[in-house]
Amino acid sequence: MTALARGGHRATLRSRREARAAYLFLAPWFAGLLVITVGPILASLYLSFTDYSLLEEAKWVGWDNYVRMFTQDTRFLQSLQVTTVYVVVSVPLQLAFALLLALVLDRGLRGLSFYRSIFYLPSLLGGSVAIAILWRKVFGADGLVNAVLAVFGIEGTGWVGHPDYALGTLILLHVWTFGAPMIIFLAGLRQIPSSYYEAASVDGAGWLRQFRSITLPLLTPIIFFNLVLELIKSFQSFTQAFIVSNGQGGPADSTLFYTLYLYLQGFKRFDMGYAAAMAWVLLLIIAGLTGVNFLASKYWVFYGDTK
Amino acid sequence: MATPSRPVPVLFRQFRGGPLAKHALLIGFGLVMLYPLVWMISSSLKPEELIFREPGLWPSEFTLENYTEGWNALKHPFSYYLWNSAVVTVLSVVANLVACSLAAYAFARLNFPLKKLWFAVMLGTIMLPYHVTIVPQYIMFSKLDLINTIWPLVMPKVLATDAFFVFLMVQFIRTLPRELDEAAEIDGAGYWRIFMRVVMPLCLPALATTAIFTFIWTWNDFLSQLLYLNNPDNFTVPVALRTFLDASSDSSWGPMFAMSIVALGPIFGFFLAGQKYLIRGVATTGLK
């Protein structure tokens, strides 16, 4: 009895010691959570109901910022539309390329790691200012694309300077970085047991049938994962639009990304209350989108183990 | 029909007869993808007036003029901005390695109250858009008089807010056999010693992945450097490149290309040196 009690006592001592150690190891992370993440999130919620410019005291204005956003500010609505088009077009295109290349590269191909590296490189470089500068020149009036078109006798236009095409060049830039999701697809393809394909080909299933009945269903969790990740990421694109449009979102606001407009409002016009409100709308959009994604996933994502 | 001895479940099965065709296709596609990059390199080595007259890759005339001109085009020589970037980047790498591994060890190995909740919170912060915190963070750092210092850039990393890497290391530590920890504990080692002497040495691959990714992301990062570094004396490479774009007329693309290549150099170097870690890192956690 006493031995048992002592044992239990020792166990609680030990677990208390362990918990104390854990919280010590986590101390920097907790501090960051408080000061860098949760504090600012709550502060920006408060600021979103104020008029604040860094120089004066914040003035409570209620829902004004939100009302202004959706009823009066056409540039805000434009930025929402531009970003939506960008996300809706570039993410599926990028993932389609990633999946296609992953399928081509999968198994039994010599030089796999070479190709994989080549296709992955743009993903590492794509977010940089240097590549955005390059893009601006590749699609400029006297840029590479037009020089190539001229070889075929086609006269191009200044793609980045044209309101109809500028966003298209940014979409292309996003598609160009398909390497990272491709690598995730490749890792997923490797998980599929080759015996499935053996059985299928014994039964006479052609490649299309195998793709539709084996590869695609077993890959849906990976497709879902990539989709969630890329949606969140592309909604926040900033650098490319900033550089290509010289920080303005032009021509004619055709590349005015949501985050770029937020930056202009918050840090050029110092309308920080409004920028904070925009930040919260962004958070809600991304959370909503991710939530819908998870709900919808029940209908198309196949988890082999749960059936 | 003959069953293939080694089934190749590939979309382009019909190319099996001619793998050469497949390779030709892949190489062609790769060339199109990399063409702009190679074009930039070759343009940077051409005299200004030739850049847009010949779309071909091999310069008919070589010159390093663009590099010398670009290097000295701004207020400071370009090496100055490279140094500033290097300071921010190296400090970020060190901070991430220390702070994220500390947190990861606790999440992966120790038991404590509310562990599941905190772990979920940590995963949630991975998804959190940077812009949601950006306005109050800016206000905070400006009230603390830290604008135009490196603190706003490095402090978040010291405090382990790059949760990707915490997650990456948690996943890695979980694959290490627990018996090692237990053996060390029987030998009388405390948690700190187990962390330093047992877990960390085995974590080298995860630490390498973290270091390389932190390096590349910080080196490329534009938004926070644009926000917090307003004085040309503190400019890092991305911000300097951006002023280049502002300052120069549309005709001086040669020097700008040259400096862009200088800016991409370190990333390319890390890519060549650390491919293995990069690709494994992407594949296991689905980072960029």
Residue owning tokens 């006479």: A204
Give the mean pLDDT of chain A: 90
The closest of B164, B271, B286 to A183, measured between CA atoms, is B286
Rounded distance, CA B63 to CA A283, Å? 50
Same domain, A220 and A271: yes
Same domain, A125 and A6: no
CATH of B78-285, one of 1.10.3720.10, 2.60.120.560, 3.10.129.10, 3.30.70.980: 1.10.3720.10
Which residue in chain A has the smallest CA separation from B29? Answer: A119
Q: Which structural domain, as residue segments, surrounds residue A119?
A: 65-300
Using the Cβ of A282 and the Cβ atoms of chain B, whether some distance falls under 8 Å is answered with yes
Residue B241: which of A129, A198, A204 has the nearest Cβ? A129
Q: A 59-78 residues with CB below 8 A of B?
A: none
φ/ψ of residue A60, rounded to 5: -70, 125
pLDDT attached to residue A144: 85
The segment(s) of chain B belonging to CATH 1.10.3720.10 are 78-285
Same domain, A169 and A220: yes
Tell me: the pLDDT tens digits for A247-287?
888 889 999 999 999 999 999 999 999 999 999 999 999 99
How many A/B residue pairs have CB atoms within 8 Å? Answer: 289
Residue A119: which of B7, B30, B222 has the nearest Cβ? B30
Which residue in chain A has the smallest CA separation from B35? Answer: A144
CB-based contact B12 A272, cutoff 8 Å: no
Rounded distance, CA B169 to CA A199, Å? 38
Using the Cβ of A274 and the Cβ atoms of chain B, whether some distance falls under 8 Å is answered with no
Determine the distance from the C-alpha atom of residue B100 to the mean position of all C-alpha atoms in its chain, rounded to a whole number: 16
Q: What is the ipTM of this complex?
A: 0.88
Taking residues A236-249, report their average pLDDT: 91
* Helix B115-127 / helix B78-109 crossing angle, nearest 10 deg: 150
Same domain, A15 and A105: no
Are B144 and A35 a contacting pair, CB within 8 Å?
no
Pair of tokens at residue A81? 């539309």
Rounded distance, CA A18 to CA A32, Å? 22
Show the 3-state SS of B200-241: HHHCHHHHHHHHHHHHHHHHHCCHHHHHHCCCHHHCCHHHHH
pLDDT attached to residue B12: 46
Same domain, A180 and A228: yes
φ/ψ of residue A72, rounded to 5: -115, -30
* Angle of CA points A90, B163, B153, to nearest 5°: 85
Residues of chain B neighbouring A137 (CB-CB closer than 8 A): 253, 257
Residue A150 included in any domain? yes
Which residue in chain A has the smallest CA separation from B108? Answer: A22
Residue A40 included in any domain? no
CB-based contact B139 A54, cutoff 8 Å: yes
Same domain, A238 and A288: yes
Number of domains composing chain A: 2
For B85, the enclosing helix (H) or strand (E) is helix B78-109
CB-based contact B33 A29, cutoff 8 Å: no
- Tell me the pTM: 0.90
Residue A124 included in any domain? yes
Please tell me the least confidently modeled range out of A66-80, A164-178, B245-259: B245-259
Q: Is residue B6 classed as helix, strand or coil in its secondary structure?
A: coil
Q: How far is CA A201 from CA A198, A205, A211, A302, B7, in A?
A: 5, 5, 12, 22, 8
Determine the distance from the C-alpha atom of residue B256 to the mean position of all C-alpha atoms in its chain, rounded to a whole number: 22
Residues of chain B neighbouring A150 (CB-CB closer than 8 A): 55
pLDDT attached to residue A275: 97
CB-based contact B111 A238, cutoff 8 Å: no
Tell me: the pLDDT tens digits for A221-231?
899 989 998 99
Same domain, A252 and A191: yes
Torsion of CA B106, B111, B114, B119, to 10 degrees: 40
Taking residues A168-180, report their average pLDDT: 95
Q: Write out the DSSP string of A260-281.
A: HHHHIIIIIS--HHHHHHHHHH
Same domain, A173 and A275: yes
Residue A59 included in any domain? no
Q: Is residue B9 classed as helix, strand or coil in its secondary structure?
A: coil
CB-based contact B287 A180, cutoff 8 Å: yes
Same domain, A15 and A163: no
Pair of tokens at residue B63? 């010159």
pLDDT attached to residue B76: 92
CATH number for the domain harbouring residue A273: 1.10.3720.10
Q: For every one of its 288 residues, what pLDDT tens digit does chain B have, with 9 covering 90 and above? A: 333 444 444 454 444 546 788 888 899 999 999 999 998 998 889 887 777 666 677 777 788 888 998 899 888 999 999 999 999 999 999 999 999 999 999 999 999 999 999 999 999 998 899 999 999 999 999 999 999 999 999 999 999 999 989 999 999 999 899 999 999 999 999 999 999 999 999 999 999 999 999 999 999 999 999 999 999 999 999 999 998 887 765 557 888 899 999 999 999 998 888 888 888 877 776 654
Same domain, A92 and A140: yes
CB-based contact A33 B140, cutoff 8 Å: no
Same domain, A27 and A97: no
